[in-house]
Amino acid sequence: MKDKYTEMWEKLNLDIEAHDALLEVLGKFYGDIYLSQENRVRGMEYLDFVISEIHGLRIKELEDAKKKGYKIIGTFCIFVPEELTIAANAIQVGLCAGAEAAKEEVEKIVPRNTCPLIKSFIGFKLARLCPFTESCDLIVGETTCDGKKKVYESFREYVPMYIMEVPQQKKINDRELWKSEVLRYKDKLEELTQHKITPEDLKKAIKIVNNKRRVLQRLNKIRSFIPTPISGRDVLLVNQISFYDDPVRFTEKISTLCDELEEKVKEKEGVVPQNTPRLLLCGCPMAVPNWKLPYIIESSGAVVVGEESCIGTRNTRDLVEESGETLEEMIEAIVDRYLKIDCACFTPNEERINNIISMAKELQVDGVIHYNLLFCQPYAHESIKIDKILREQNIPMLTIETDYGMEDVEQLKTRVEAFVEMISA
């Protein structure tokens, strides 16, 4: 069926037939998981709209911005400093990596036992299904886990790539390396956009990105009340959309959503009953449209009240210090802020354990679910350690390892239900 955006998608070289089929499946999936929820606040209508237009209106906005001279930068990791991207007259977007695509083709170029997130972004490119990937002027990869850094060697045959080196430790010399990488990225952006970043540009961009993080912090604070006024699924969606939407508009809309949720808190109106078991979800990122586990959890009688993940608090916890006036001062502040990211790719990574314990306590959770994407070594290693430490703190934890397939849904449901029953008792 011809859509009003078909011509645009054709120009982007999408496989129109396969893309139509994808949108149809996604629409159905979204309806079942999101639109079927009860007691949803009005402010979520904006998020429903964004999702319904995510491959349409948002892509058109990007295409229009390109005509005005902006460049589009695609990313797979929260280490890429959006402040610099915005300051250089570019737009940063997270790339689709939350669903299976072109599996057989992908496994011809990456080992079968590669994490589904990596396979996904390769698959979306090979199958020509992601208009964000096709809109990008540059895709920025990073040397975080081994899977990603090796796959970028093949991926660069298909897309214009740039790699940032992320250190594996946080010693003084690692900070030096990271600072040089931040500066190298700045140079690369300036070369691409032909725009020399000024202190005014960077100051403004820091404010924009900080404000986006501030509104997400506010949302997290609101959901921490008992009973929580918003489902975990909806907050995950808000976090996912924060990687695609225009940051200023997104901040305004989520601020309105927060106003509405605050009213619910005042009235003690929860999205679920007061005694619903509260869970913290930790671990690997859940990129759009990876909603499988939150849906299973919340249809098993529990509610998710926190996401300790990159599509969650790991990306919003820390702000860039705003007092800098010179470029040098602001770059230093960016370097420091990004080095606080407690990704499992770091060794050691003690701050992550401490962050999980404080989140579990602040959010008054009854248990923790650690989510490992299949074949993700860094998070699988840390889940063993975290399980031991949480046990010592009397916080029950369940580890779930899964991929994007639906074959294990019933089995996961059984395990999650048993865990929820156990913590309820």
Residues 148-167: x where in contact with ligand BJ8 by CB under 6 A, - otherwise, as a string: x-------------------
d(C-alpha 78, C-alpha 243), whole Å: 9
Question: Does 145 contact ligand BJ8 by CB under 6 A?
Answer: yes
d(C-alpha 291, C-alpha 34), whole Å: 9
Residue from 88, 343, 360, 420 touching ligand BJ8 (CB under 6 A): that is 343
DSSP secondary structure code for residue 166 in this structure: P
Structure-block tokens of residue 373:
């994407």
Question: Does 281 contact ligand BJ8 by CB under 6 A?
Answer: no
| Closest distance to ligand BJ8 from the beta carbon of 240 (Å) | 13
Structure-block tokens of residue 124:
């979306």
The CA–CA distances, whole Å, from 88 to 137, 185, 188 equal: 13, 11, 10
Binding window for ligand BJ8 (CB under 6 A); candidates: 42-50, 71-79, 196-204, 224-232: 71-79
Residue from 117, 215, 335, 412 touching ligand BJ8 (CB under 6 A): that is 117
Question: Does 147 contact ligand BJ8 by CB under 6 A?
Answer: yes
Binding window for ligand BJ8 (CB under 6 A); candidates: 19-27, 77-85, 185-193, 323-331: 77-85
Structure-block tokens of residue 42:
């009005």
Residue from 34, 46, 79, 250 touching ligand BJ8 (CB under 6 A): that is 79
Question: Does 106 contact ligand BJ8 by CB under 6 A?
Answer: no
Closer residue to ligand BJ8 (CB): 95 or 261: 95
User: Longest Cα pair distance anywhere in the chain, in angstroms?
Assistant: 62
138-142 vs 71-75, strand pairing mode: parallel
Residue from 81, 98, 141, 285 touching ligand BJ8 (CB under 6 A): that is 285
Residue from 121, 225, 295, 379 touching ligand BJ8 (CB under 6 A): that is 379
Kindly identify the residues of this chain, within the stretch 211-270, that bind ligand BJ8 according to CB under 6 A: none
Question: Does 93 contact ligand BJ8 by CB under 6 A?
Answer: no
d(C-alpha 118, C-alpha 93), whole Å: 17
The CA–CA distances, whole Å, from 135 to 8, 13, 56, 72, 99 equal: 11, 10, 12, 7, 19
Question: Does 144 contact ligand BJ8 by CB under 6 A?
Answer: yes
| Other Cβ atoms closer than 10 A to 2 | 8
| Closest distance to ligand BJ8 from the beta carbon of 213 (Å) | 15
Write the burial class of residue 237 (CB in 10 Å: 0-12 exposed, 13-18 middle, 19+ buried).
buried
The CA–CA distances, whole Å, from 86 to 186, 208, 246, 248, 327 equal: 11, 9, 11, 11, 14
Closer residue to ligand BJ8 (CB): 149 or 214: 149
| Closest distance to ligand BJ8 from the beta carbon of 140 (Å) | 11
Question: Does 78 contact ligand BJ8 by CB under 6 A?
Answer: yes
Residues binding ligand BJ8 (CB under 6 A): 77-79, 115, 117-118, 144-145, 147-148, 284-285, 310, 341, 343, 345, 373, 376, 378-379
